[in-house]
Structure 1
Amino acid sequence: MRRFRIHRFGSMMLAGLLLLAGCSGNAGPSPADSGQTGQSGQTGSSAGGSTGGGEQVTVSMHSWRVEDAEGYKKIIEAFEKENPNIKIDFKPFKATEYNTILNTALQSESGPDILQLRPYAPGVSLAEAGHLEPLDNLPGIQNFSKDVLAAATGKDGKVYGVPLSLNSTQIYYNKKLFEQHGLSEPKSWDDLIGTAKTLKEKGIIPFAFGAKEGWLLSLSHGVIAPGTYNGNAFVNKILQGQADFTSPEFVQSIQRMQELVPYFPENFAGLDLNDTRTLFFTEKAAMFINGSFELEGLQKMNPDLAIDFFPMPTEDGNTVLTTWVDGSYAVNSKAKHKAEALKFLEFMATKQFGELFANEFKRISAVPGVQTSDPLVNKMAELSQSNATPYLMVVHFAEGNPTTKQTLENALQGMYLNKLTPEQVVDEVQKSAASWFPPFKK
């Protein structure tokens, strides 16, 4: 059992980690309308209702994690046991549809009382549009570090979400298949390609990979790219405007995404997360690039799966793990049951919730001081403290219209359909970032 802490990378925020549709990381359109935000931190009737008396109140709660529905039942039961007058109606949606459904509901003032908030810019845009209740006075929010809260902090400096989890992305692999063919964890890019070649020669799909869902492409690039630019030194140069996406290191990262194509499944351009997940847990594919949020689901789908993971080897002989703070939970500024919703968020900021979350989902809770005994979770958390780099497109480049993150996803899909070259992908990404990113405008 280990106690985890957040690791700071120089000038930027980041988390040590674990979490997601898939992830969590799909940035959707910002809402067009705006409203007036109320005052947060009130848990009594003045904030929108009362938990006292005998009348039961039902609080609506939306999420993009359909696969978490059963786990949340146990967590919600623990809250409802202590708050018998509050019932939480948890309703998840498909991750790729969540943003559109949520934005439409908020714009029509029919949104849920509690909503799962995309990290960084996409979530902040909802606050700027007036849809979220500030949480600076919420009991327990002060226990989170500023770096963790940054994922749900508006440009006005106010906090709008209770951070849920700390995520990492890495390359999962089937230990049994590796051992059967005398393979070990790759220590370099050449090792990784050599491993993939050996597996293909043995009739095994090297990578469970699909290009149908764009967010999976930016996530996979977020794992591959830091190996070419050696992690944080290049990231700092990007953030300071001393380098841009036309730099050789970034160009090489796109070229490597193309270099992996021979080791993907047939017809990979039409495969989605469920397809690739199935290829891996049925042991037809030996490796799977994805997030910490996939671990619990993979183990449930195949309890006998001999699963492990390795961080990305870098050009300077080290390894790197991509990390970020994932989705927070926020309260709708026009919530029908605001006081009760705030009461549940207060619960989400407690160690009790953090431990329930970590144990149920095998992920690192964002709540400080939470412990877990799962060895793979521990391994992720340890590497996230010592070898971490931020998920660049989520943490720093999820702005623009379309966002630079979405631009990368669309361009990579174009590359995999043989419509764009790696150099053209780079040009699209740089053009997007230069349209809004201040350091590129100097």
Structure 2
Amino acid sequence: MKRLWLPLSLMLLGTLAGAQKTTLTIESWRNDDLKIWRDQIIPAFEKAHPNIHVVFSPSAPPEYNAALDAKLKAGTAGDLITCRPFDKSLELYNAKHLVSLNNLPGMNNFDSVAKDAWSTDDGETTFCVPMASVIHGFMYNKAIFKELRIAIPKSEAQFLAAADKIKKGGKYEAVVMGSKDQWEAATMGYQNIGPTIWDGEKGRKGLLSGSAQYNRGGFLKAFQSLAKWKNYLPRGYQALAYPDAQNMFTQGRGATYPTGSWEIGVFRQMNPKLDFSAFAPYTIEGKKCVISDHPDIGIGLNAASKNQAAARTFLTWVSSDAFAQLYANALPGFFPLANVKYTVKDPVAQEFLKWRSQCGKTFRSSYQILSRNANPNNENDLWNVSAQVLNGSMTPQQAGDFVQKNLGTWYAPQKGK
């Protein structure tokens, strides 16, 4: 009996120690990131916090909102809620499913542009930790640029001259984009080059206050600049869908590709041998460059969680340089939003990240508040008219007037403008 006492006591102590470990569950739509969380991010956190165990439990992206809502109502949702930007997460906060994180250690690592996507309209309360953004710009085929002796364009004039040279050569497509799916024309076109023209946050906030309009000033000029791409798009671009454009560029048939940093990992999978890099949105009228550093993903605390302290420990870690270093390299092209030091290994991701120190930053003009109306919807209107501008079926002025008129039908600060 004495021989059995020591092992049994040790087993009992081990059981008690195990019982003290807190388990946190993360709800997310990023099911394609499961392996990264399981093999890289969570082990790093648990090594630093051995008393907390973390489980990453994603749903399929299209099902996430409905699945999360059902779990929250049933009281079965995880401790940590991965937050989509803007209104969906604001709805969760207003419904008291997410808690204020204003006093969370580490929140001072984020500036107002980073926090806007997960804050109340007055900016007073932030309810999700900003985790990562994507940055807009242009990718280009390095071999084609070298072959045609084209320098990286810095201005609109240089970009159009490069596109003209590529088109006249007849061997490659100059600007790889289609207008069939519409959203690319707005997201990767208008919202890519536009921020520099409308002075970034000044212009975006001007739309919110009513001091700026889509049919004048920088917002109209952005439609005018976008219209200049029409002559350089692939033959039959009106029928070119997003996957078609991706294939065209990765197969080496096109020289430039207006896009965002989210494509880095995708392109490396589609063609590991493709030698590509990126350049920032070009300047127009000598204005300082402004990039769309668009918030993509955050993470918040379920108000009904029974593990509030452990969850706050995890959220504070998400705001740290240790997390930033891990995340930025696990998912090249998705950039941590914390103002902490980290380095990325992927050379194209390095190029995108460099622009943060060279340019101003903002995010897509229609995402905060302006797209809350179902019909007309500001984001959908921008998709529609941006495609029509590229197709030549709308002039830039007509596009601006259409979007502005629809916005003025429901958004009080823009009524009568």
Structure 1 length as normaliser, TM-score? 0.74
Structure 2 match to 1:127: 93
Say yes or no: does 1:219 pair with 2:191.
no
SS in 2 for 1:244: coil
Say yes or no: does 1:429 pair with 2:397.
no
CA distance in structure 1 between the partners assigned to 2:309 and 2:163 by the alignment: 54
Letter in 2 for 1:361: L
SS in 2 for 1:372: coil
Say yes or no: does 1:144 pair with 2:115.
no
SS in 2 for 1:206: strand
Q: 1:207 aligns with which of 171, 175, 188?
A: 175
Is the alpha carbon distance of 1:166 and 1:204 closer, same or farther for their aligned partners in structure 2, counting shifts above 3 Å? same
Q: 2:223 aligns with which of 247, 254, 272?
A: 254
Say yes or no: does 1:160 pair with 2:127.
yes
Once the 2 structures are TM-superposed, how far is the Cα of residue 357 of structure 1 from its aligned partner? 1.0
Is the alpha carbon distance of 1:387 and 1:199 closer, same or farther for their aligned partners in structure 2, counting shifts above 3 Å? same
CA distance in structure 1 between the partners assigned to 2:321 and 2:196 by the alignment: 35
Structure 2 match to 1:71: 36
CA distance in structure 2 between the partners assigned to 1:234 and 1:270 by the alignment: 33
Structure 2 match to 1:172: 139
Percent identity of equivalent pairs: 24
Which is worse superposed, 372-381 or 283-292? Answer: 372-381
Say yes or no: does 1:348 pair with 2:318.
yes
Is the 8 Å Cα contact of residues 209 and 271 (structure 1) preserved in structure 2? Answer: yes
Say yes or no: does 1:412 pair with 2:386.
yes
* Structure-to-structure mapping, 1:22-421, within 5 angstroms: 53=19, 57=23, 59-63=25-29, 65=30, 67-73=32-38, 74-81=40-47, 82-83=49-50, 86-91=53-58, 93-94=60-61, 99=65, 102=68, 111-155=77-121, 157-200=124-167, 201-211=169-179, 213=181, 215-220=183-188, 221-226=190-195, 228-229=197-198, 231=200, 234-235=203-204, 238=207, 241-266=210-235, 268-269=237-238, 271-318=240-287, 320-324=289-293, 326=295, 327-335=297-305, 341-362=311-332, 363-374=334-345, 375-394=347-366, 396=368, 398-402=370-374, 403-413=377-387, 421=395
CA distance in structure 2 between the partners assigned to 1:346 and 1:411 by the alignment: 42
CA distance in structure 2 between the partners assigned to 1:161 and 1:80 by the alignment: 21
After superposition, give the CA deviation of every residue in 1:378-397 in whole Å (9 maximum; x if it has no partner).
44344323322422425645
Is the alpha carbon distance of 1:381 and 1:57 closer, same or farther for their aligned partners in structure 2, counting shifts above 3 Å? closer
CA distance in structure 1 between the partners assigned to 2:73 and 2:393 by the alignment: 36
Letter in 2 for 1:159: T
After superposition, give the CA deviation of every residue in 1:368-418 in whole Å (9 maximum; x if it has no partner).
322215454444344323322422425645443134223312443465677
SS in 1 for 2:329: helix
Is the 8 Å Cα contact of residues 137 and 192 (structure 2) preserved in structure 1? Answer: yes
Is the alpha carbon distance of 1:149 and 1:235 closer, same or farther for their aligned partners in structure 2, counting shifts above 3 Å? closer
Is the 8 Å Cα contact of residues 323 and 384 (structure 1) preserved in structure 2? Answer: no
Once the 2 structures are TM-superposed, how far is the Cα of residue 294 of structure 1 from its aligned partner? 2.6
Is the alpha carbon distance of 1:217 and 1:92 closer, same or farther for their aligned partners in structure 2, counting shifts above 3 Å? farther
Structure 2 length as normaliser, TM-score? 0.77
More helix by share: 2
Is the 8 Å Cα contact of residues 97 and 303 (structure 2) preserved in structure 1? Answer: yes
CA distance in structure 2 between the partners assigned to 1:155 and 1:52 by the alignment: 43
CA distance in structure 2 between the partners assigned to 1:417 and 1:237 by the alignment: 29
Is the alpha carbon distance of 1:206 and 1:115 closer, same or farther for their aligned partners in structure 2, counting shifts above 3 Å? farther
CA distance in structure 1 between the partners assigned to 2:414 and 2:56 by the alignment: 45
Letter in 2 for 1:295: I
SS in 1 for 2:365: helix
Taking only aligned residues, the RMSD between alpha carbons, in angstroms, comes to 3.6
Is the alpha carbon distance of 1:228 and 1:151 closer, same or farther for their aligned partners in structure 2, counting shifts above 3 Å? closer
Letter in 1 for 2:339: P
CA distance in structure 1 between the partners assigned to 2:403 and 2:95 by the alignment: 26
Which is worse superposed, 355-364 or 430-439? Answer: 430-439
Letter in 2 for 1:276: A
Once the 2 structures are TM-superposed, how far is the Cα of residue 184 of structure 1 from its aligned partner? 1.6
After superposition, give the CA deviation of every residue in 1:221-270 in whole Å (9 maximum; x if it has no partner).
11122454465665565455333111054234224434423433455455
CA distance in structure 2 between the partners assigned to 1:324 and 1:332 by the alignment: 27
CA distance in structure 2 between the partners assigned to 1:242 and 1:66 by the alignment: 41
Higher-Rg member (1/2)? 2
Once the 2 structures are TM-superposed, how far is the Cα of residue 117 of structure 1 from its aligned partner? 1.8
SS in 1 for 2:262: helix
Is the alpha carbon distance of 1:138 and 1:242 closer, same or farther for their aligned partners in structure 2, counting shifts above 3 Å? closer
Letter in 2 for 1:203: K
Is the alpha carbon distance of 1:269 and 1:438 closer, same or farther for their aligned partners in structure 2, counting shifts above 3 Å? same
Once the 2 structures are TM-superposed, how far is the Cα of residue 153 of structure 1 from its aligned partner? 1.7
CA distance in structure 1 between the partners assigned to 2:384 and 2:69 by the alignment: 22
After superposition, give the CA deviation of every residue in 1:108-154 in whole Å (9 maximum; x if it has no partner).
76655433323334432332233323223434334434443333122
Once the 2 structures are TM-superposed, how far is the Cα of residue 285 of structure 1 from its aligned partner? 2.1
SS in 2 for 1:59: strand
